[in-house]
Amino acid sequence: MSDPRLAGIGMTSARTRERLVQRLREQGIKDEAVLDRIRNVPRHLFVDEALASRAYEDTALPIGFGQTISQPYVVARMTEALLGGAQLHNVLEIGTGCGYQTAVLAPLVGKVSTVERVKPLLERAKLRLKELGIRNVRFRYADGTVGWKAHAPYDGIIAAAAPHAVPPGLLAQLAPNGGRLVIPVGPEGAQELLRITRRDEHYVRERLGGVAFVPLLGGLA
Ligand code: SAH
């Protein structure tokens, strides 16, 4: 990486990032392609400059509008669960936020369609991803609870905000032959990460452990 802003210095340097990757390995992340994205996506560009020195800590950080950039471990875990050894061509993401999860995921799949209900966040994410040369993403300002029908079916759907129950519209937009949805579900303080795999009209649920996400809200901000 020759651009010094992308490469990072000091607390955003390659060595700091490598420590984060090591930590995620210790916590059980195994997919090398995912770890490579965590290493190479400049997370410090997705947060406020005042927080850049904390960008490679394994924590969520504020991005404005009451929202947060997800914790790297959670992004890695969800991406790994979504990919699950398969080659995904068409992925839907609910809750673009600052676009960090999108940047980790996009080069690992064919195409990402991403939906966000806070317009300024979506606009900023668009700029960042363009800056990073990521081009296989289409963006939509909308309520993602109902998915994005125009590009369905999806072989993967990933949600970065937690509904109380799995939205039926998302299940309906999964490809019948193994499409999978990775989503946090439940009220604040009692959320669980789920992976739901569709086999025709059967939906197989796996529980991936407790998590803490912002709520999936209806309507536009
Ligand atoms: N993916 C982001 C995390 C963003 S936090 C990252 O990589 O850091 C979750 C995001 O979901 C917030 O930006 C929030 O505005 C958005 N969100 C919440 N409810 C939504 C809905 N119904 N439709 C679309 N986006 C939603």
pLDDT of residue 2: 58
| CA 113 – ligand 1 centroid, Å | 13
- The pTM for the full model equals 0.95
What is the 206 CA–ligand 1 centroid distance (Å)?
23
CA 7 to chain centre: 22
Binding site membership of 144 for ligand 1 (Cβ less than 6 Å):
yes
- Would the pLDDT of 85 be above 90? no
pLDDT tens readout for residues 128-148 = 999 999 999 999 999 999 999
Q: For residue range 5-53, list pLDDT tens digits in order.
A: 777 777 778 899 999 999 999 999 999 999 999 999 999 999 998 999 9
Report pLDDT for 162.
97
Report yes or no: 95 and 116 within 8 Å, Cβ to Cβ: yes
Q: Which residues are CB-neighbours of 37 under 8 A, at least 6 positions away?
A: 79, 103, 104, 105, 107, 108
Q: Is ligand 1 within 6 A of the CB of residue 115?
A: yes
Span of 3-12, 39-48, 66-75, 95-104 with lowest mean pLDDT? 3-12
Q: What are the domain boundaries of the chain?
A: 4-211
**113 carries an active-site annotation:** no
186 lines ligand 1 (CB under 6 A): no
Averaged pLDDT of the chain: 95
Look at domain 4-211 and name its CATH class. alpha beta
